[in-house]
Each structure stands twice: as structure tokens, then as C-alpha cells.
Amino acid sequence: MPPAQSRTGRHPIQITSLLLAALVTLSGCGLFAAADDSAGPLAIRTPQPTFTPTVAAAPATEAPPATTTDAATTASSNPASGQGDLPKAVINTPLLNARSGPSTDFEVVATIERGAEYDIVGVSPDRSWWQICCIDGVEVWVTNEFVDTLGLVDSVPVIGGAATTQPTAPAAAAATAPPAAVPATATPQPAPAATFILETQEQFPETGVVRVFLYVYSGNSALEGYSLSVTKDGTALPVEGSSFGGQPAFTWPFQDPRQRFQNFKVEYPETPPQGTWQVQLIDNTGATVGPPATFTLSSNDPQQELYVRYAQQ
């Protein structure tokens, strides 16, 4: 007998299959998932402002003081940032005059013995005088002719210019002169040339070279800035350099009857001695300031060392 059918005319198994298919379809459309999603947001806490520790950057404001302190520490520990040792002046003559300025025109303030050592704190513009420290707390000047130096002297500061090459008293007098007395277009006039007398001319034993010694002085001090005009048979011979001031040197290294004071020397090793030699004092402008001394030498003359001494009038 055929199975019984429902009133609807469908088989029960077919109905069950339709119901299952409908459930699957409804779950795919999200009807059941919507109920679960609506409950989801309720489980999440309300967002709160997050605490950001960037305000802790306050220590950065302390960085500049720390940097400054480090820089100061570095500068103080750097040897190059400090002042180096001053060069030394060592006196190499028995007695040397120390003066108040870089010229023999300045007064003598002390006499220094051989071997004395001082700091060099300055040099004259022509680098012929050192300023040293100190005698009785005062900086003084000595000629470099009788000074040995220790250390680097290239960096020693140059002290003064034209103003410091003149004695204090004339400078003070010029400062008190009325300004109106000097025209705006006036130019400095050179001082009159000093005149000298030829005190002596002598010859001493020498056969290898014609040598000329000069001693030009005033009082007890040698004078700087003077030279000689030397001619042989009327032809001028070269002369380089000029005299130094202060304490004079000697023509002979030890005590001897031929020993004389001198502060300038010139030699002519390539010039034959025979002929007439004329020696005459000139100043730093080349002007003649003293009478000539004349010497006549032979080809084998045993006395080729010539000596002249000029005293300021």
C-alpha cells in the first residue's frame, strides 16, 4: 500500500528538509547574528583620555646649565686656553744699564749684573730693545745686544711706536703745548744732527783682514744709530748696520793693552789692504757728523785693524 500523505499533499520528509533549508538561509542572512552584534558594544568600556608622559620633558630645561658647566670645565682643562711661560732675558755682559725707555736717551734706572734673569714682556718696534720685568716692581728696558734669550720671543708684543722712542720729559712738554700753536698742515721737522769730535784714531796688529772698529759715545754710554762712511782710494765701500747703545763691548776679548771700547764693527776680507782708507762718522740719515780719519796701508801691512773713537760735543 502506498504511504499515507499529509493533508497538504507533501511527504513529511520533504517538509523537514524544507525547514532545515530555511533555517540555514535565515542564519546566513544574519538574523541570529544581529542579536549577538547588538550585545557586543555594551561589553566595551567607554574610551578614557590616555596619560601621555611627555610633560616629563621638563629635565630638558636643565640642559643649557649642564652644557655651560661642561664648556667651562673643558676650557679650564685645556692647556692651550691658558697663557704660556714668558721668554727669559739673561744678561751676558758684566754690567748692563736698565733704562726707563727703549733708547739711550732715557734715564738709567738700574745697573744689572751678568747672569741676571728676567721675564721678557715687550719689545721695541725695531726689536733692538727688550722690556723686562721687573726691577723694584717696575718694568725696564735693556738693549738686546747684551742679552741672551730663552724661550719663544716671536710672540712678544711690540710696545709703543714713535711716542715711546722719545724721553718722557719732551713728550710731556709737547702734551701741554696749546693745540692752536701747531698748524693743521705742519709736518714734523728732524732734530738738528749732533756733532762729534774725533778723539782718537789707532791701528793694531792684524794681517788677515781689514777691520774697522768704532766707538761713538756720550758721557758713560755708547750711542746707538750711528755708522761709518768708509772709502778706499776715493771709492766708497759697503757698510751695513749701525751702532748699539748702552754698555759698550770690547775690541779684544780679554784685558790687554790693545783692548778698547767699541759699539760697531765692519770688516773687508775680500779687499786688498794697500791704499788710502778714510773713515768718517755718519748718522742714521747718512749725514756726516764727525771729521774723517785717514789711514794709509801697504800690501803686507801688519796693522790692518783700524780704530776710531768719536765723542758727542
Evaluate whether residue 276 is within a structural domain.
yes
Q: What is the pLDDT of residue 85?
A: 80
All residues at 6 or more sequence positions from 18 whose CB lies less than 8 Å from its CB, including other chains: none
Do 135 and 235 reside in the same domain of the chain? no
Domain with residue 137: its CATH number is: 2.30.30.40
Phi, psi (5° rounding) for residue 174?
-65, -35
Evaluate whether residue 277 is within a structural domain.
yes
Reported pTM: 0.42
Evaluate whether residue 20 is within a structural domain.
no
Do 159 and 201 reside in the same domain of the chain? no
Question: Of 255, 197, 248, 202, which Cα lies nearest the Cα of 223?
Answer: 248
Do 114 and 159 reside in the same domain of the chain? yes
Evaluate whether residue 265 is within a structural domain.
yes
Encode the chain (313 residues) as per-residue pLDDT tens digits: 455 544 445 555 666 666 766 665 555 544 444 444 444 454 445 555 555 555 444 444 554 444 443 333 333 333 333 345 889 999 999 889 999 999 999 999 999 999 999 999 999 999 999 999 999 999 999 999 999 999 888 889 998 754 444 454 444 444 455 555 555 555 555 545 579 999 999 999 999 899 999 999 999 899 999 999 999 999 999 999 999 999 999 999 888 889 999 999 999 999 999 999 999 999 999 999 999 999 999 999 999 999 999 999 8
* Cβ–Cβ < 8 Å for 152, 87: yes
Q: What is the pLDDT of residue 154?
A: 87
Q: What is the pLDDT of residue 12?
A: 58
Do 159 and 200 reside in the same domain of the chain? no
Do 133 and 234 reside in the same domain of the chain? no
Do 229 and 290 reside in the same domain of the chain? yes
- Per-residue DSSP letter, 226: -
Average pLDDT, whole number, for the chain?
77
Residue 95 buriedness (CB in 10 A; 0-12 / 13-18 / 19+): exposed
Do 226 and 302 reside in the same domain of the chain? yes
Q: Which domain holds residue 119?
A: 88-163
Do 110 and 151 reside in the same domain of the chain? yes
Domain with residue 276: its CATH number is: 2.60.40
What is the number of domains present in the chain? 2
Evaluate whether residue 272 is within a structural domain.
yes
Round to whole Å and give the CA distance between 89 and 118: 5
Evaluate whether residue 146 is within a structural domain.
yes
* Cβ–Cβ < 8 Å for 136, 100: no
All residues at 6 or more sequence positions from 209 whose CB lies less than 8 Å from its CB, including other chains: 267, 268, 269, 304
- Distance from the Cα of residue 39 to its chain's centroid: 89
Evaluate whether residue 53 is within a structural domain.
no
pLDDT digits (tens, 9 = 90+) for 71-86: 333 333 333 333 458 8
Last residue of a domain, one of 163, 187, 215: 163
pLDDT digits (tens, 9 = 90+) for 228-282: 999 999 999 999 999 999 999 999 988 888 999 999 999 999 999 999 999 999 9
Do 150 and 203 reside in the same domain of the chain? no
Do 123 and 202 reside in the same domain of the chain? no
Do 205 and 301 reside in the same domain of the chain? yes
Q: What is the pLDDT of residue 164?
A: 44
Evaluate whether residue 139 is within a structural domain.
yes
Do 277 and 205 reside in the same domain of the chain? yes
pLDDT digits (tens, 9 = 90+) for 193-211: 579 999 999 999 999 899 9
